[in-house]
Structure 1
Amino acid sequence: MLLLLLLTNAFVLLPWAGAGRIIGGREAVPHSRPYMAYLKTQNETHSSACGGFLIRPDAVLSAAHCVDKKGTVRVTVTLGAHNIRRQERSQQKIRAGKWVIHPQYLHKGFKNDIVLLKLKKKAEINDNVQCISIAKENERVRVGDLCTVSGWGRTSLDPPGSDVLREVELKVQEDKICQRVSSNYQRQSMICVGDEKEEKATYKGDSGGPLVCNKKAHGIVSGGYENPFFPKAFARISHFEPWIRKQLKRFSLQDIPCFPFSD
């Protein structure tokens, strides 16, 4: 079944038009990805949805373009969800009190496409809601590593998105593959991923969701190319790890314990 996960609200066939659709994915085992967050962003005229992931009881990472909207913006984070259209007892809905977008973020080319959100209250950590560890500054994925992306996106080119959480496995590719497709690709701050032999990819639906490799979040679903399948570029978390730690310290979150998810 085709699985499409939202990256941007409008789909335009241009280079870096957006990544987010999961093609060739499968339904995730309910609550097997307890770090996943569903972000609903609203302003005066519009609402959109993205993915994200819990790294502290009251801190979520996502893509900057998910909250980079005009006017007064309100972000509601849902944790512990499998079927996002139902009011599951496992769900926790928490408003984001504030967030910080990377100071060098550029929507053109989706450069430095990362945001850290502070929740208004701490999430209750349990079997259905857990944190995930992030890659440290010196940790890099290797070409050929198999990673997983999850999210609630479209199951076809047309809306609506998937009710249930879905996932797909993608392989880390050589940087030169993405560099050949777009001059906007930056090897230090991006990861090139995809599957050139099978129709598996991210596209419209899970911007901000994590690329999980070896039980750690190494990437964030970000920009993509005109080709809906291959390749895609994700924000490289290890590059941003010092900035993330600095923001956590500003938020006074560095000492809040949260046992990381491990499957």
Structure 2
Amino acid sequence: MLLLLLLASAFLLVPWAGAGRIIGGWEAKPHSRPYMAYLSIGSESQISTCGGFLLRPDAVLSAAHCVAGKTKVNITVTLGAHNIKKNEPSQQKFHIGHWVVHPNYSGNTFENDIVLLKLKPRAKLTKEVSYIPLPSHNKPVRLGTTCQVAGWGRTSITQHKSSVLMEVDLKVQSEKVCENYFEKHFRQQSVICAGDENGKKSTFLGDSGGPLVCNGKAHGIVSYGRKYCIFPEVFTRVSYFESWIREELRKFELQDLPDSPSSD
């Protein structure tokens, strides 16, 4: 689900966006993850896809690299989907007119890889469409915790993208694991290191922006890994950005006030 952006370095970093699906996972029970969002991002050069997740009826959280640096971007968010190729009655589609990329996002190192997208009109909460809670500010997730990731990305390095939502379990790894692989690119305060040490399970291209769900909360956002390697993986640490998220959500509310000059 990721655009193949390659970084010149001792190794190549690749964001998990573009076309693809979960590797080594299984098909999710339909609508068992009602917070999942499917992003279709059209630009002058191509159409790419990413994941995301619903925070509240007017906001979806995803990865900044899915939308940053593109011109004439047209973003559609689909909620309530299982098979993205079908016109399921549960689906709600939104054309996004406003989004906020973190001001310190870097397209070179993928630091601060987080974006908030505003839904207008608001999503209707149903059995198939609901939000997921966030962890408290800077609340860490324990080493060795088994978390879940879902997406419509590739099921192998060579496979095409999946039409149905796939899911997989991944373990939180020691920060040293990612430091050894990513060196100067790894900013341990703002990211989570996770993956399958056996190299059989992973998120991959097309899964960017989806949530790393640990103990029922969205602790991470699928961000990047190494080209042709599925272990380890780096996730944006959601709790590190809690204050920024809250402030931007407050601005979303102000924009909806009748007398607000920024309301559309």
Instruction: Please confirm whether the aligned pair reaches a TM-score higher than 0.5, indicating the same fold.
Output: yes
Map of 2:82 onto structure 1: 82
**Percent pairwise identity:** 55
Structure 2's unaligned 5+ residue stretches are: 257-264
TM-aligned CA deviation for residue 52 of structure 1: 0.3
TM-aligned CA deviation for residue 198 of structure 1: 4.7
Task: State the superposition RMSD in angstroms.
Answer: 2.0
Map of 1:248 onto structure 2: 249
Distance across 1 between alignment mates of 2:175 and 2:163: 34
Instruction: Name the SS of the counterpart of 1:167 in structure 2.
Output: strand
Please say if residues 171 and 193 of structure 1, whose CA atoms lie closer than 8 Å, have aligned partners that are also in contact: yes
Please say if residues 13 and 224 of structure 2, whose CA atoms lie closer than 8 Å, have aligned partners that are also in contact: yes
Cα deviations across residues 115-168 of structure 1 (Å, max 9, x unaligned)? 000012101100000000111213110100000000001233346310100000
Map of 2:259 onto structure 1: none
TM-aligned CA deviation for residue 44 of structure 1: 2.6
Report runs of 4+ in structure 1 exceeding 6 Å deviation.
Answer: none
Structure 1's unaligned 5+ residue stretches are: 1-5, 256-263
TM-aligned CA deviation for residue 8 of structure 1: 2.4
Higher relative contact order by CA 8 Å / sep ≥ 6: 1 or 2? 1
Distance across 1 between alignment mates of 2:155 and 2:6: 15
TM-aligned CA deviation for residue 68 of structure 1: 1.2
Cα deviations across residues 28-56 of structure 1 (Å, max 9, x unaligned)? 00000000000001123321100000001
Map of 2:142 onto structure 1: 142
Q: Counterpart of 1:141 in structure 2: which amino acid? A: V
Q: Counterpart of 2:157 in structure 1: which amino acid? A: L
* Count of aligned pairs between the two proteins: 250
Distance across 1 between alignment mates of 2:132 and 2:187: 25
TM-aligned CA deviation for residue 96 of structure 1: 1.3
2:91 matches 1:96: no
Map of 1:190 onto structure 2: 191
Map of 1:156 onto structure 2: 156
Map of 2:47 onto structure 1: 47
Cα deviations across residues 157-194 of structure 1 (Å, max 9, x unaligned)? 34631010000000000101100111200110000001
Q: Counterpart of 2:13 in structure 1: which amino acid? A: W
Match 2:14 to one of 2, 14, 17: 17
